Amino acid sequence: MKQGKLKFAVVGCGRVSSNHLKALTSGKIDGELVAVCDVDEKKAKAKSEEFKVPYYLDYNEMFMKHPEIDVVNIATPTGYHARHVIDIAKFGKHIIVEKPMALRVEDCDAMMKACADNKCRLFVVKQNRFNSAVVAARKALEAGRFGKMVLGTVRARWKRTQPYYEQDNWHGTWELDGGVMSQQASHHLDLLQWFMGPIDTMQCISATRLLDIEVEDTALATFKFKDGALGAYEATVATRPEDLEASLSILGEKGTVIIGGFAVNKINHWKFEDQLPEDADMQKDASQEIPNVYGLGHSPYIANVIDAIRNNKPAMVEGAEGKKNIQILTALYESAALGGQQVCPGCPIRKSQLGRKA
């Protein structure tokens, strides 16, 4: 086991990188930020000055000058994730990659193979799994408190405007980004499958209602899970005039939990047939106030990665777990491209546009 703090670098200094950088410099985890890197010097320099570490425009130079780096957090545009993971794996560094892991299932496989070949580990960011409210609900699920599962529902109703998509040339494109399903609401899709189990079949319809982008700004999907339970998925960035919610509802024969807030961060309803003493204060104890829609999960997520590396044990979300999300997303886009036809994860792809130019 490595002694001392693990050394981190962040590649990609855009919007989401701040969550990684703040977590790494918060003093709450046993990690140390060493450097940042981005091809855009203005962005790299800004993060360098804010977090008091050197910046680089080329990660090859960064690794040459900082061989002590143990873990690299990749926060580049989604369409570059596979390329960057495969390249950086050659340096033998453990890798944390932002969601979604990639835009194609075959890229996920190539990323996992590159890390295995170079004896490094690949972790995929799913920070909402570490929200206090989600942790409490998952604990109830694993204890069997829901009984037979009936229905799971997730809603992501957020606001993104045209200037958001025009700040960079990759936002809102099939080739590098994907739409609301693969970006803003992919975390919530992950929670749905994590709580409700393997998917049997699904159907999806999508639309672009308010934004001038290649991809969808609104989508609806329904699921039938392997155990017979049903699921619903609502995702939009066309909520106006402000963000509304990101929620998760779990209904079972013995209890119901509804988690709301802007980022699945507040217990709105918690009721089981068999009450436990801690249930009385669960809404207060497991709810969190958050600064933005990203929530507070990046710090505990990275702490989980550090623990997994130090103690050579599984982390919450590694490559194979992250790949599940891409398989489901690919099937959703397939169904939408076919006008809402029923599909299944892993079925042959005919018309899916995820990760492809329109």
Residue pointed to by tokens 């990760």: 355
Q: Are 333 and 186 in contact (CB under 8 A)?
A: no
Is 354 within a domain? no
Same domain membership, residue 78 and residue 43:
yes
Same domain membership, residue 228 and residue 97:
no
pLDDT band at 293 (very low <50, low <70, confident <90, very high): confident
Cα distance between residue 193 and residue 231, in whole Å: 9
Is 69 within a domain? yes
Same domain membership, residue 310 and residue 244:
no
Average pLDDT, the chain: 95
Is 113 within a domain? yes
Same domain membership, residue 304 and residue 268:
no
Residue pointed to by tokens 């013995």: 254
Residue 146 belongs to a domain with what CATH number?
Answer: 3.30.360.10
Is 343 within a domain? no
Domain that holds residue 245: 131-291+324-337
Is 248 within a domain? yes
pLDDT band at 349 (very low <50, low <70, confident <90, very high): confident
Same domain membership, residue 136 and residue 264:
yes
Residue 120 belongs to a domain with what CATH number?
Answer: 3.40.50.720
pLDDT band at 236 (very low <50, low <70, confident <90, very high): very high
The region that residue 105 occupies, defined by phi over 0 for left and psi between -120 and 50 for alpha, beta otherwise, is: alpha
- pLDDT at position 358, please? 35
Q: Is the peptide bond before 345 cis (omega within 30 degrees of 0)?
A: no
Whether 242 has a pLDDT exceeding 60, the answer reads: yes
Is 150 within a domain? yes
Same domain membership, residue 22 and residue 85:
yes
In this predicted model, what pLDDT tens digit does every residue of 174-217 receive, in sequence order? 999 999 999 999 999 999 999 999 999 999 999 999 999 999 99
- The lowest-confidence range among 26-30, 92-96, 142-146, 345-349 is 345-349
pLDDT band at 238 (very low <50, low <70, confident <90, very high): very high
Same domain membership, residue 163 and residue 266:
yes
Same domain membership, residue 286 and residue 163:
yes
- pLDDT at position 56, please? 98
Residue 169, judged by CB atoms within 10 A of its CB (0-12, 13-18, 19+), counts as exposed
Same domain membership, residue 265 and residue 216:
yes
Same domain membership, residue 144 and residue 90:
no
- pLDDT at position 345, please? 86
Cα distance between residue 83 and residue 85, in whole Å: 6
Once rounded to an integer, what is the mean pLDDT over residues 214-223? 98
Once rounded to an integer, what is the mean pLDDT over residues 294-300? 92
Same domain membership, residue 203 and residue 114:
no
Is 342 within a domain? no
Contacts of residues 32-35 at CB distance under 8 Å and 24 or more positions apart, as own/partner, are 32/5, 32/6, 32/7, 32/8, 33/8, 33/9, 34/7, 34/8, 34/9, 34/66, 34/68, 34/69, 35/9, 35/10, 35/62, 35/65, 35/66, 35/69
Is 75 within a domain? yes
- pLDDT at position 355, please? 62
- pLDDT at position 297, please? 93
Give percent of the chain above pLDDT 70: 97
Beta-sheet strands, E only, within 1-112: 6-11, 31-37, 55-56, 71-74, 94-97
Same domain membership, residue 216 and residue 122:
no
Split into its structural domains, the chain has a count of 2
